[in-house]
Amino acid sequence: MDNDDEDRIVLSGNALAALQDFYNQRDKDLEAFEQLTSEGSNRQITSISTFKEDWNASQFWVKPPVVGVDNANLQQFTDATARLLAEQLVQGSTSETSIAVVSAPSVFVQLKNLLATGKYPTPARICLFEYDERFGILGDFVKFDFNKPTNLPPDLRNVFDRILCDPPYHSTECILKYAETVEWLWKGRSEGTCCESRRVICTGQTMKDVVLEAFAGMKQDPFEPEHTARLDNKYACFADFELQR
């Protein structure tokens, strides 16, 4: 027997069956998403669970955190948390309000659901800034890479009255880059604006000092966002207004 045969890893029957099940489910998920894409805007998406995770992009909707990784926002918000956060963006809004959701597709889904009820004015503009292009099916999508904080369409600069972002990693570098993006997108505060300006940042409690220094006027809100799976790191919400329950 040569060394190659000795080093070759042989899976057990159970492991092979589990691997085949995984590939079968992956194929089914891909087929379902392709069907969803073909339906386009005619299909109302009510939950982030419609989208299957892309593990290569560090997306884990319902899986436990990855061992050895600072998981930050590898999990997505529960529908209840996403809805409450989306409500903060539409409460007191007007038809002149512009709303930006950055790296929080679950919140954007719930924002769309709230606007579909007709209970809130149709905003002048809403945008989802996100790296994963699959979310383009939601409409109002802008490709965004936080490593290039202001590499965005010029006509979106200083446009948005209300901004929510959920940085994907618990690191000073990541938070500072998102602060740069928010500052670039934000219309700012001035007298005579169409509605109350609002900014919301969701990230780990460990990043509190960095957030409060990077985002002027922010305070930690008592609200604690919940995720679809348990996170080892306590999550926190920061805002320049008091969240309404």
Looking at the domain assignment, is residue 138 inside a domain? yes
pLDDT at 233: 79
Looking at the domain assignment, is residue 127 inside a domain? yes
pLDDT one-digit tens code per residue, 70-108: 334 445 899 999 999 999 999 999 999 999 999 999 999
For residue 145, pLDDT over 90 is answered with: yes
Looking at the domain assignment, is residue 1 inside a domain? no
Q: DSSP of the chain, one letter per residue?
A: --HHHHH-----HHHHHHHHHHHHHHHHHHHHHHHHHHHGGGSPP--GGGSPP-GGGT--SSSPPPTTS--GGGS-B-HHHHHHHHHHHHTT--TT-EEEEES-HHHHHHHHHHHHTTSSPPPSEEEEEES-GGGGGGSSEEE--TTSTT-S-GGGTT-BSEEEE--SS-SHHHHHHHHHHHHHHB----TT-SS--EEEEEEEGGGHHHHHHHSTT-EEES----BSS--SSPEEEEESSPPP-
pLDDT one-digit tens code per residue, 192-232: 545 689 999 999 999 999 999 999 999 999 999 998 877 67
Say what the pTM is.
Answer: 0.75
Q: Where does the pLDDT of residue 13 fall: very low under 50, low under 70, confident under 90, or very high at 90 and above?
A: low
Looking at the domain assignment, is residue 50 inside a domain? no
Q: 132: domain CATH number?
A: 3.40.50.150
Q: Where does the pLDDT of residue 19 fall: very low under 50, low under 70, confident under 90, or very high at 90 and above?
A: low
Report the domain count for the chain. 1
Range of the domain at 145: 73-239
Average pLDDT, the chain: 80
